[in-house]
Amino acid sequence: MSEGLAIHWRLIPQRYNLVGTECLKCGEKFFPPRQLCPNCRRVGEIREVKFSGEGEIYSYTVIHTPPEGFEFMKPYAMGVIKLIEGPFLTAQLVDCKPEDLEIGKRVELVFRKIIADGSSGIIRYGYKFKLKD
């Protein structure tokens, strides 16, 4: 089951370029972006901010039983990444072997194919991470 076209389309700045938000009132940065600051709520002031794509592995796993569509990627690594600007996100870790993974290792953003909608639908691209050289 695939997402609707517009669901992906409206998230292209986020999925391609890590465009998140920050609250000018409290200074907290958000990725994935939030339109309502959870700290300041209605008095918060939200604006867009682009994240650098650099971070470190906070936790990781290697998926051996994938969901529909990801069967031929397996095994693939999934990490919770702590961006240097503060927020955390979940992303695949590519171009590495499971034994190379370690909490605290530096990672950087790469642009990859996430999933295609069958053989005739659109191809959804987005961020993944790889170990920094």
Partner 1 sequence: MSKRVAIIGIGMTKFGELWDKRYRDLITEAGADAIKDAGIDGEDIEGLYIGSMSPGLFAGQEHIGALVADYSGLSGIPATRVEAACASGGLALREAYLTIKSGAIDIVVAGGVEKMTDVSTSSAMIALMGAGDQEWEAFKGVTFPSLYALMARRHMVEYGTTIEQISQVAVKSHHNASLNPDAQFPFKVTLEQVMNSAIIADPLRLLHCSPITDGASAVVLASEEKAKELVDDPVWINGSSSATDTIALHDRKSLSRMDSTIIAGKKAYKEAKIKPRDIDFAEVHDCFSIAEILAIEGLNFCKLGDGGKITENGETEIDGRIPINPSGGLKGKGHPVGATGIAQAVEAALQLRGKAGKRQVKDAEIALIHNLGGSGATTVIHILKRN
Partner 2 sequence: MKVGIVGYGVYIPRYRIKTEEIARVWGADSKNISNALLIHEKTVPAIDEDTATISVECARNAVQHAKINPKDIGAIYVGSESHPYAVKPTSTIVAAAVDAVPELTAADYEFACKAGTAAIQTTMGLVKSKMIRYGLAIGADTSQGKPGDVLEYTASAGGSAYIIGTENLIAEIHDTYSYTTDTPDFWRREGQEFPSHGARFTGQPAYFRHVIKAAKGIMNKNKLKPDDFDYVVFHQPNGKFPLKAAQIIGFEKKQITEGLVTPYIGNTYSGSTLLGLAKILDDANEGEMILAVSYGSGAGSDAFIIEVTKENEKRRNPKPLQRYIDRKEYVDYATYAKFKGKIKGVKLEKP
Q: Is 23 exposed, middle or buried (0-12, 13-18, 19+ CB in 10 A)?
A: buried
- x/- letters, 70..99, toward partner 1 (CB under 8 A): xx-x--x-xxxx------xxxxx-----x-
Q: Tell me the C-alpha distance between 82 and 4, whole Å.
A: 29
Stretch binding partner 2 (CB under 8 A), from 31-39, 41-49, 64-72, 83-91: 64-72
- Give the containing element (helix H, strand E) for 6: helix 5-9
Q: Which residues pair with 43 in a beta bridge?
A: none
Nearer to partner 2, 12 or 103 (CB): 12
Q: Are 100 and 106 in contact (CB under 8 A)?
A: no
Site for partner 2 contains 61 (CB under 8 A): no
Stretch binding partner 2 (CB under 8 A), from 41-49, 54-62, 78-86, 106-114: 106-114
- x/- letters, 6..35, toward partner 2 (CB under 8 A): ------xx--xx------------------
Which tokens belong to 29? 């940065």
Q: Are 81 and 68 in contact (CB under 8 A)?
A: no
| Least gap, CB of 11 to partner 2 (angstroms) | 11
Q: Tell me the C-alpha distance between 105 and 96, whole Å.
A: 12
Q: Which residues contact partner 2 by CB under 8 A?
A: 1-2, 12-13, 16-17, 50, 68-70, 72-73, 94-95, 110-119, 121-123, 125, 128, 133
